[in-house]
Amino acid sequence: MLDAEYEALRTRAGVFALDDRVLVRATGADRVTFLQGMLTNDVASLRPGDGCAALLLTIQGRVVADVRVAAVDDALLLDVDRGACEAFVGALEKLIIADDVELAIDERTHLLGVSGPGAPDLVPELAALAPFAHATVAIGGVPVRVVHASAIGGEGAILHVAAGDAERARDALVRAGAVPCGSAALEARRIESGIPRVGTDMGEKTLALEVPVEPAISATKGCYLGQEVIARGTARGHVNRRLCGLVFSGTPAPGARLMRDGHEVGQVSSVARSPALGSAIGLGMVRREQWDAGTELDVVDPSGKAAGVARVAAWPLA
């Protein structure tokens, strides 16, 4: 099952529920100016139908949440990780003083993903959409907002659909040739593409510059939370550690330590099996002295047992 689903995501197209993501609707006359001062990307330039990737950071430049922003006539739709949603909304609400802004979690809308090189055949509107732009179309006879973005890297779409219509839209995509995919295949492709997940590969102990999130950070907009830290790190030209792709000789657990000459130089955050490589792969933070592709590191499980070797590898891993 894993191999068939994985192959569909890699060579054709797969469809899957994004139950780990949720929409937050930002409304009110000040929603754009408020979020322009909070998020890392330029939301003030968005017009209805536009979108972008963004982050919410702490004042220290550490990651609270990753966000896909979609602008519509009366709101900004914020697609965030469900596990980070409470911290995301809570952090923003603390900063709403006299602003006319309301944040509401939208459980009436479900999110689906379509990913793979065949995604534009299933959703032809993608060809006309810039990255993160969106349009409303009919799929299976129901209205769906199609966002040109992928949850796992590569070509794809994120679909916003009314909860009661989600199954109908999904079934229509399956009839058109999409393969239903589960979490194991999705995790393999996410890791191979180097897509960090908040709460797993990045969080409030992670500087934004330590993870591959460059499309989510504007280099030209004005102040936002954590902007000074980003500017200093960019001017310095390097960070002391960063998230890297890893190919393992064994199958370590997340949290395993990465060692070189008896010294800890990193830690594993995500692990999955790659059918294409026939081995376990992962993501992990690695110190700059050891992050060159091809570097081999010893792996020690959280229990203290040796767990093989990790080879640092460039993305895509497969």
The per-residue pLDDT for range 87-133, each reduced to its tens digit, is 999 999 999 999 999 999 999 999 999 999 999 999 999 999 999 99
Task: Tell me if 198 sits within 8 A of 174, measured CB to CB.
Answer: no
Percent of the chain with pLDDT over 70: 100
| Mean pLDDT over each residue of the chain, to the nearest integer | 96
Angle at 100 between CA 97 and CA 106, to 5 degrees: 105
Full set of structural domains in the chain with CATH: 2-188 (3.30.1360.120), 240-318 (2.40.30.110)
Q: How far apart are the first and last CA of the chain?
A: 19
- 226-244 pLDDT, tens digit per residue, is 999 999 988 887 899 999 9
The span from the CA of 264 to the CA of 290, in Å, is: 11
Q: What is the pLDDT of residues 158-173, one digit of tens each?
A: 999 999 999 999 999 9
Q: What is the pLDDT of residue 162?
A: 98
Per DSSP, the residues of 83-131 read: HHHHHHHHHHHTT-SS---EEEEETTEEEEEEESTTHHHHSGGGGGPPT
Q: Which amino acid, residue 244? A: C
Rounded distance between C-alpha atoms, residue 211 and residue 315, angstroms = 13
Q: For position 159, what pLDDT does the model report?
A: 98
CB count in 10 Å sphere of residue 45: 14
* pLDDT tens for each residue of 170-193: 999 999 999 999 999 999 999 999
**pLDDT band per the 50, 70, 90 thresholds, residue 141:** very high
Q: What is the pLDDT of residue 236?
A: 83
- Check residue 237 and give its pLDDT: 76
What is the pLDDT averaged over residues 206-222?
94
